[in-house]
Each structure stands twice: as C-alpha cells, then as structure tokens.
Structure 1
C-alpha cells in the first residue's frame, strides 16, 4: 500500500516537473483557452504556475461566474491590482449585467487601454434601457473591437423594448475591425449614418449583426478605407441604406428587406442572401465572385432581377439559387431580346434554396432555354454546374452508402 502511494506521488511529481518546464509563452497559450477565473484556478497544477496568471496577456471576465455584481467587481479589483503592470494586455473580454456606468467596467477598460490592448470584446446583458458612453473607448492601440448586447442572457427575460444606447463619440485611430451585434444605432450617433466610425480613420472591416437602425432620414455608411463589410439581419426604420466605400472589396448582405444604394467601384466579392432586390448601384467593373440567393423570388418584379444581373456583367464566378432561374423562366418575355451580359464568366453554379417537399412550389417550372442562353451565351466556355433538388435531398445515410459503393 505504501509503495503504491510512493509511486503515485512520484508520478505526480514527474508530471508537475513537466508542466514546470514548459516555456512561459506556451503556458500563457494554454491558460488563454480559459477565462481569467479558471486560469487562476489552474495555477495549482504546478508550483511554477502559481503566479504566472499575473503575466497572462489575455483577460476574460464574466459576471455569470458570480452570484452578485458586488462579488464580480471585487474579483476584478483583486485581479487587476495583482497583475504585473509591466506586462502588456493583448486581448480583453468583458461580459457583464447592469449599467455600463458601473465602476468595474471603467476599471477593466482603463486597464486594457493603459496596457496597449489590441483586441476588446464587451458584452452587455440587458434587463432594461442602458446607456453606453462611447467616451469609455479612447485608445491608440486598439485594433479589434466587438460590442454586443445580449437580450437572451438576461435573468428577467427582457424583450426588444430594452436596449443599449450608444452615447457621445469614440476616438480609435488604430482600429481596423469593428463588430456591432444587436446594437441600436439612432440619430444621436449616426448623423444620417455611422458617424461614430468617422474618427476610426484606419477602419477596414465592419460587421453589423442584428442591429436596429432607428430614424427615418435614411442611413449612410461612408468610409474611405473600408475593405470588408458584412450586414446581417439588420432592421431599419429608414427606407434606404446607402453604402459609400471606394476601396470596398468584399460585401455580404443577408436578410434585409429595405432599399440599398451602393457605391463601391472596386468591389470583387458580393453576397446577397434573402434580401429585397430594390437595389441600386453603379456598375461593378472588378467583380470576381458573386453569390445571390433569394428565398422568394416570386415576390420580386422580373425587370429588377434582370437589372441586377446586368450590373454584374464583369463577374467571373456566379452562383444563383435555382428558384431565381425558375422565376425568370416564367417571365421569358423580359429576356427574349436581351443579350447575355456575362462576357467574362468562367463558372456558373445553380443550386436549390428550398429542399423540403412542403416548401416547393405547386408546379415545378423547368429552367427555360432562354434563361440558360441569357446566362451563358456571352461566355460559352464557362463551366456550368446545376445541383438538383434530388441531390440536396440525399440524407447523410444515402451519401455514406454512395461513398462506400
């Protein structure tokens, strides 16, 4: 019995020695996969790890780990006061409940900015209307910022009448990437657009996810250096969203039923999914790849679909959902005298959006010769791939059987 205990002790000592011999950078990397409270808990794995949390360049705090905000605030205070202040902080994540004016919010953000943080994610769990002063964000080092509001993390089961409101302005000259998730944008901080990005002079990547744009004067996104923009499930009281980005290369728009005006002469990639085709833009002369997927093209006007396709004349790789072609096949009179606009097309892929039986139209429309000619006559050597609904219906079991022969 005693020999077995001695053996177990020796084994633990060997394992502890192995952990102790790891370089600091690797230990930091291991601990970075945990939030700060668990990273500190892992310090017991090795005597050498006991204080290494003090130099971790990644901080992650969540009020979900504590029964009260008072305990959460005290934990943050102890961690920040115990850190090695000569070590920089590269990434900070803060998730909290309640008001942004709470002292611990400012402490965490001040610590991040005073240690030249480059990535910051702030998630506010909302139970009521909350003001978030953008003056909290003032940094010359921050490159990536994500700001979220979490309605579903609320203990009170709050609804969309609760909101986080951005107030004042921020100044982030080094910022290259901004992601706003479920953040209302209103006239106070838009100036008929996202005026709050006007002082982010190096911004290249912008993502708006499930944001509410309030105000009826129209909404404008205008920035000279934007290169990548994603707009997903955004709701807007204004009838028109205007995007002006002369250096824009990649644009994705999902789930928008309003009108878009786009000025992006250097656009190379365009994704349009489940949007209203009430869409105006200058011709795109640099398009490489386009993917258009409209779940209900039968709600559209035929000439709007054709007008959009005409604007994509320079594209090399084009993907369209099958329902668009079926819709055009029901209105071939609009194509009969139209030459194919696609003179540079290298590949065309057609795939079905709807694959469930109950979603299919009552009468399946065969893709007409006129539609195929319109799409391919300008580039007869283009590779044409058409995925049928039958192929999409194949279950994973069927695919496994096919792969096994």
Structure 2
C-alpha cells in the first residue's frame, strides 16, 4: 500500500489545497481519514454559490451548519456569497456579521434580491476589509451612518445605497482613505462627488449623467459609459494616462468637447464609434485644438470596453469623417509617432456638407 504523503503535509498547505475546490467538496474530505476530519474547519476562504441543484433552503441549511461547526478561532479572509431573491435576507446579514467578526478581508455579495438588504453596521466600520463587492442587489443596500473603512482598497457597487445620513449621499466615499479601485454600475446619485487621494482606477457605468466632481490626483485609468457626457462637472486628474469612453445616446457635442478637455492628460484614449460620431455634429471642429495634447495612442472600437454596442448601429454605417480623427490627433506633441487604430471596415471620408444627415 502506497504511503499517503499528502496527509502528512502541514495544515496550512492542506488548507491551501482545499481552497482550490468548492466548499462542498472541501467538507466531504472528512471521509478520507482522521487526519482530514478537522482540516476544513479552519478554512479562511468561504465561498457559497446557489446552483440549480442547491436551492435556497438547502444552501441556507448548509451555510448555517458549516459556520456552527467551523473553528470559531479561525479567521475568515474571503467570504463570497451568491444567493437569490428567495433567500432569507436576515440570515445573509447574520453571515456577514460572522465574517466581519472574524476579520474578513474580501467580502462579495451577489444576488438579484428584490428587497432592501440591511447589513450590520459593523461591516461599514471594519478595519480589516480590503475588498467589498455588492452586485445586482436590485432594491439597494441600507447603510447606517456612512462608510468608515480605513483599509478598503477595492469597491465594486452594482446597487443603490441608502444612507441614514442624507448629507453623505453625494459624497459617499469620503470615509475610504485607502481606496485604489472603484467601480460603479447603475449608481443613480445625481451630482456625485468622488474625492479619493489614492484612487488609481475608476469605472462608471450609468444611464444618466451622475458626475458632479472627481478629484483623484493619482488616478491613471478612467472608464466611463453613459447616455450623454457631463456638462459642468469638476475634474482634477493630473496623473491620468488611460481613458475609455462610451457615450451612446444623443449627447451634446459641446458637452463632449468640454468633457474630453477635462481628461486632457490621457496618453491612451479608447472611444466607441457612438462617442466619436457625436463630434461629427460640431461644424467648427477644425478650428479647435486636440483635447489630448499628450496622446500617444487613439483607438476607435465598435464595442465599448465592457462589451456594450451602442445605438448608432455602426455595422450599417461604416463611414466616419476624417476631420474627427484629425481633431483628436493633429497638433499633438506625439503626432509623428502617434498610433491610430480604427476598425478595418471603417472608411474615413472627407467632410461633405449634409453627408451625415443622409447617411445615418
């Protein structure tokens, strides 16, 4: 009989092995031998995902039993929980409280829950949390007071936030001094203010113009998807390097030009066809200077950086005015070496009065 060398490994290595499989499979290792009976109880990575085979009741029973049998002194580094609208939300809050009390570093909740989820106040004052992801919680999250997460570095929100303190609604992230990456999807707060001294990556995907002010001196990457450009927002982005824009509605070309100039420090710019076509309506474009004097690479794409195709149906209209590309590139510091990438079947044409009206 061959020697069982795996079972002789230290607990820390066995736990790393178990972290590579599902939590359900990890628990089943108790049948292997006495050596394995208690290894799973100290797992620091807990991921629970509802599947077709495991309904809400089955999953809630499994989670409840696992947490009750788990080594209470073992920390929880990652707690990821996917559930549906039939799942008991008070139980979700209890699970989150358990994770917070065990020093959670990464917390992810993912669910199309059609009720407002009330999470424990301790979550929003955690000193151990590094990553927080709240995804597809349709009716929003109730937050008592405000964020006060001194070590949070990554925040992903695909939900509405409801604060007890109305004064923090328009500047909800002021209590996140270490925040480095922020993603907002469908976050409907008008005139949103983001002041983040260490923010490096910002992604905003919204239906309406929500931006009021962004002050992020270390921001290097900015992705923005919206129906129309902002008109009078305040920007302070001195370190900006990469910009990805998808303005897919009927936005004003004047507002778009204003918006582009506020992102002037970017050296790599990606624009969807929906975005760049708005500029075709500006008849004085040839008299204006490029909004990106330091640009090194301009990329025009059909799809937005997040896979969305806009309303212009660019598959039908494959013509684009050359003066729009010239506006973005001529007179820039790197015009001789600047890389311009456009779809292979896109034809650049010279300006013809009225051509855009007949071709759309």
Q: When the two structures are superposed, what TM-score results if normalisation uses the length of structure 1?
A: 0.68
Which of 161, 164, 167 is the matching residue for 1:185?
A: 161
Separation in 2, partners of 1:283, 1:120: 30
Which of 281, 290, 299 is the matching residue for 1:340?
A: 290
Aligned ranges for residues 42-61 of structure 1 at < 5 Å? 42-61=29-48
Q: 1:386 to 1:240 in 2, by over 3 A?
A: same
Aligned to 2:120: 134
Which of 294, 298, 301 is the matching residue for 2:247?
A: 294
1:175 aligns with 2:156: no
Q: Which has the larger radius of gyration?
A: 1
Per-residue displacement from partner, 1:340-381 (whole Å, max 9, x unpaired)? Answer: 34332222223334999x923866544224741552222322
Per-residue displacement from partner, 1:166-194 (whole Å, max 9, x unpaired)? Answer: 1524654443333333x332353553526
The ranges of structure 1 where at least 4 consecutive aligned residues each deviate by more than 6 angstroms after the TM superposition are none
Per-residue displacement from partner, 1:95-133 (whole Å, max 9, x unpaired)? Answer: 45544334x852x4444334323222344563x534414
1:390 aligns with 2:345: yes
Q: 1:230 offset after TM fit, Å?
A: 1.9
Aligned to 1:375: 329
Q: 1:32 offset after TM fit, Å?
A: 1.4
Q: 1:271 to 1:17 in 2, by over 3 A?
A: same
Which of 100, 105, 111 is the matching residue for 2:89?
A: 100
Aligned ranges for residues 10-21 of structure 1 at < 5 Å? 10=1, 14=2, 17-21=4-8
Aligned to 1:403: none
* Aligned length, in residue pairs: 334
| Alignment gaps of 5+ in structure 1 | 1-9, 151-159, 205-226, 392-405
Q: 1:277 offset after TM fit, Å?
A: 0.8
Q: Which has the higher helix share?
A: 1
Separation in 2, partners of 1:364, 1:81: 61
Query: In structure 2, the residue corresponding to 1:25 is in which secondary structure?
Result: helix
Separation in 1, partners of 2:26, 2:338: 53
Separation in 1, partners of 2:235, 2:60: 52
Q: 1:274 to 1:56 in 2, by over 3 A?
A: same
Aligned to 2:238: 285
Separation in 1, partners of 2:285, 2:182: 32
Aligned to 1:272: 224
| Alignment gaps of 5+ in structure 2 | 347-360
